Structure 1
């Protein structure tokens, strides 16, 4: 089901990651420490210690600190995703994987030593503070609505605001905070690096959400008089939106990679069920309604795999990939959800129980259709581009 690895080094690492997830990680899926708000710190540490021993921690990074290509990363993260705990164990889970990528591209050498190194080694987790409460008119899918402010105070900046659905904030040690710098409609945004915990950043509550795979869950945050020295600005002042775009396309795509692996696993489990369970005198798979669902799953998995690899190739060619990643996020998230839904249906009562991981995969995929941009927002953005290109073409005709 996995497409061929593009290089020998990615093939070798992908094989090691898959073996680790299947042999070591999957038995932990019934561990009570998996938690309703994501795996607890003790479980994360235990899994990552085993990943270190297996040589598969942060596997997308090269020994010299460089990053494998996006296509190579796809081959590896698809296999890490075979269990919802796989990305946690291998240190390829969101938001850390995306934050590691961003810091590697933008952070200064001093910032890398202080903030990035401990993320790479899996000793710390991070959070990306951008989304804000909709009830207060803050930024969600439209980052231009950013309401959190940053004002200069001597050599420092002081940040105030509220953030919502901040993944991993509970227990994180590194924060990247997006805040508005300047006034008016043309106000810019800046990214600030912060050590956590900080008394000026308070977790008001961890939200109860449909998904449960990400350590720390998703939190409502209050930022009250957070003082940040100027040397903790990530990149340049007023360039936060540009850096967010640098992070966004690869982060969208890595979500697709990880959940692809999870759905491959759900397909394996539902196939095993359908080829051993009998009803009305024959195996479930021999009933056309079930066999056709498995066939549809196989077709859509192959399509999703190819879409992921196509987008990865676009990014590797040096493009920003904003359009391609939007297309891929929509196509893959919707397809994977349909596949997970069919897997639940095939398994009947077992599909809605927590006796297998299929139920969790279904829940996680439902959430994936919303985070990193709901399907409808991506389609709206693509429709605007279609109109813009069509009008530009007409004017040249």
Structure 2
């Protein structure tokens, strides 16, 4: 064991790319449970814990983290191979923001004491995180949040409500933004905290979505005490930390994984409906495949930039916009191609198989909203990338 995690079996970056791909592919195909491949919904921790605890013991839980912090330390090309093989084999994406977001944030902004205390339990999957950004009535204006944090001795006392918090009931911790100041720009009044959801004063209410799932939650914070050493970054500097988290989130949401899964469902439905050789349909799917191929190329460029340690600029909004709206077009075509089955909830028998026709549609609609809606992404691109004047 290193001070943070499992010591790497070897220097993965010393392997050739194809040798590394063969090794990773063999491991995934041999050990990943077949019944968990290509899930149509987010899996609960209890459904995937065996796999990810194995990955933790193996030292593969954090492929992008540096070796000195317990990760695999994969170079950009190796990391892309690792992620490609996960997606190719249909491995459910780990729904833990601790690995994907908080770990990189602590490595960049955390104190050495915070890194020593907080990174090891994330690597062991003992502490798993959700995101506490959105609030009722705040819409997409993240800087307009109303949750407050007031200093009280060595602690902060937090009051407020967070909403659309994914899987809050299935994790142990939340990272959140709270207002800690009252002067200057709204963005300069916000701080970034880590919260143990077992603390007194935390109430979690599930929200049932249109697919009948309960992935989303509302989280009520009533005089919840957060230790002072769970403040990440300086007081009133949380906006800087939050933007880096949004960069990590948007590159993950901007992955080609969603539209690729949509294409797989579209091909299955079209085959069952006997449309695989229909000229009009093949023209449509060819255009969508090209969109996904182009998205993949752009995604790889952003991933390389991130792994070189570069800050992601506002142009990463293009990635999120492209991926989610392409996925939505694919999901809409699935319903059209499915014919009468396109209006049926649950698995529908098509071509002798049970097919969850609406599963892509259910995921596509919210994907254009979470992580910043499509309208917000367009505003960011217009103002911060293209420098267009305000109306």
Q: Does 1:77 align with 2:83?
A: yes
1:33-44 correspondence runs (5 A): 38-44=42-48
TM-score computed with the length of structure 2 as normaliser: 0.79
Q: Does 1:123 align with 2:140?
A: no
- Structure 1 residue 217, shift from structure 2 partner: 2.3
In structure 2, list runs of 5 or more residues that go unmatched: 1-12, 348-353
Q: Secondary structure at the match of 1:59?
A: coil
User: Partner residue of 1:145?
Assistant: 144
Q: Does 1:264 align with 2:260?
A: yes
Alignment partner of 1:341 out of 312, 317, 332: 332
Which digits, 9 at most, give the CA deviation of each residue in 1:195-243, with x for residues without a partner? 231112211x111125789xx8221111111122222211211110000
- Structure 1 residue 12, shift from structure 2 partner: 5.7
In structure 1, list runs of 5 or more residues that go unmatched: 1-5, 392-397
User: Partner residue of 1:208?
Assistant: 208
Structure 1 Cα separation of the partners of residues 211 and 120 of structure 2: 29
The CA RMSD over aligned residues, in Å, is 3.5
Greater share of residues in helix: 1
Identify which of structures 1 and 2 has the higher relative contact order when contacts are C-alpha pairs closer than 8 Å and 6+ apart: 1
User: Partner residue of 1:363?
Assistant: 362
Q: Secondary structure at the match of 1:192?
A: strand
Q: Secondary structure at the match of 1:236?
A: coil
User: Partner residue of 1:195?
Assistant: 196
Q: Secondary structure at the match of 1:286?
A: coil
Q: Does 1:27 align with 2:35?
A: yes
Q: Secondary structure at the match of 1:285?
A: coil
Structure 2 Cα separation of the partners of residues 153 and 321 of structure 1: 35
Q: Does 1:323 align with 2:307?
A: no
Structure 1 Cα separation of the partners of residues 82 and 210 of structure 2: 26
User: Partner residue of 1:394?
Assistant: none
Q: Secondary structure at the match of 1:322?
A: coil
Which digits, 9 at most, give the CA deviation of each residue in 1:44-87, with x for residues without a partner? 31332454577743333354435545665444334434577621
Q: Does 1:113 align with 2:111?
A: no
Specify whether residues 200 and 369 from structure 1 end up closer, same or farther in structure 2 by C-alpha distance, changes over 3 A only: same
Structure 2 Cα separation of the partners of residues 372 and 129 of structure 1: 11
Alignment partner of 2:61 out of 57, 77, 90: 57
Specify whether residues 315 and 212 from structure 1 end up closer, same or farther in structure 2 by C-alpha distance, changes over 3 A only: farther
User: Partner residue of 1:160?
Assistant: 159
Q: Secondary structure at the match of 1:151?
A: strand
